[in-house]
Amino acid sequence: MNSRRSGGHPRVETLALFARGDLAWLERRDVTRHVRHCAECLHELGEFRAVVEELRRGASAGLPPAVESAGEWSRIEREMTGNINVGVAAGRCIEKVGVHRLRGWRGPLVIAGLSVVFIAGWFLNMPHRDTAQILSAFHSAWRGAQTRNGTIVQTTATGIAVRTQGAMLTLLHPGATDVTVSVSGTASVGARYVDDETGQVTITNVYGQ
């Protein structure tokens, strides 16, 4: 492992990345093996995990001022659009490079080889959580593409949602423990719960048509 201290322990930053689930597969395996037998690193890891949990709780309760204001949306959007444009322009610049050298059977062979290297590199280096999220996004996009009008109503982990081409409106039931979901017709999903704050029974619905 390239991230060891002189005593054979993982570096502090490696433990921090491990606590966040951000290590690549090989490093993750090494750290897992090490902390099984090292009380000192296990203790340090426990402290990192506590900090990570605290940060998560903090993140759900508030937001850095940089993205709090709706006025910042335009800036973020401009930045992202700019980045995409730079990428597209770069792609156009290099699209003709090497085209003569990849004729015939050599072209597909090179692409297949590069694909193997890319896939192997991906699974060895990317945190498995990110891979799972990306695969899940592809799966959702595929299922969404199969519907006729592109509008789906569904239950989610936090509420009930209506989804159209990447956009989603979700009615949440925060803090409710006893939530009953049901269909109402073939175009609407509903959720019923007692609102913790007001004590009122609240029934939310999303409609797909």
Partner 1 sequence: MRWLDVEFPHDAPISLVSFSLGDSTTGSVRGTSLALDLHTSLTLRNSSLKSIRGLTLRVEAQDLTPNGKASVTVPSLNAAPGENFPVRVDLELLRPFNTPRNGGALVQVTLDGVLFDDLSFYGPDKLHSRRSLTVYELEARRDRRYFQRLIEQGNTAKLREEMNFGLPELRSPQLGLELLHDPRSAARNERPVSVAIVSFPDAPVQMLNGAATIDKNEVRGPEVDLRNRSEKTVQNIETGWILHDENGRGFMAGLLPAHIQIRPVQQARVHENGVLRFSRASGSPILVDGVTAFISNVEFEDGNWWIPSRTDISNSALDASLKRTLVTSPEQQRLTEIYRRRGLTALTTELKKFVK
Residue ranges binding partner 1 (CB under 8 A)? 60-63, 67-68, 70-71, 73, 76-77, 80-81, 137, 146-155, 158-160, 162-174, 178-190, 192, 194-195, 197-209
Strands 159-164 and 167-172: antiparallel
Tokens of 114: 């590069």
CA dihedral 121, 124, 130, 135 (to 10 degrees): 70
Spell out the residues 6+ positions from residue 40 whose beta carbon is closer than 8 angstroms to its own: 9
Question: DSSP string of 24-55?
Answer: -HHHHHHHHHHHHH-HHHHHHHHHHHHHHHHH
CA dihedral 10, 13, 19, 21 (to 10 degrees): -100
Query: Closest separation between CB of residue 176 and partner 1, Å?
Result: 10
Spell out the residues 6+ positions from residue 60 whose beta carbon is closer than 8 angstroms to its own: none
Query: Closest separation between CB of residue 109 and partner 1, Å?
Result: 34
Query: Closest separation between CB of residue 145 and partner 1, Å?
Result: 12
Query: Closest separation between CB of residue 177 and partner 1, Å?
Result: 11
Nearer to partner 1, 41 or 189 (CB): 189
Nearer to partner 1, 115 or 202 (CB): 202
Q: Are the CB atoms for 193 and 174 separated by under 8 Å?
A: no
Tokens of 86: 């730079």
Nearer to partner 1, 73 or 118 (CB): 73
Query: Closest separation between CB of residue 186 and partner 1, Å?
Result: 3
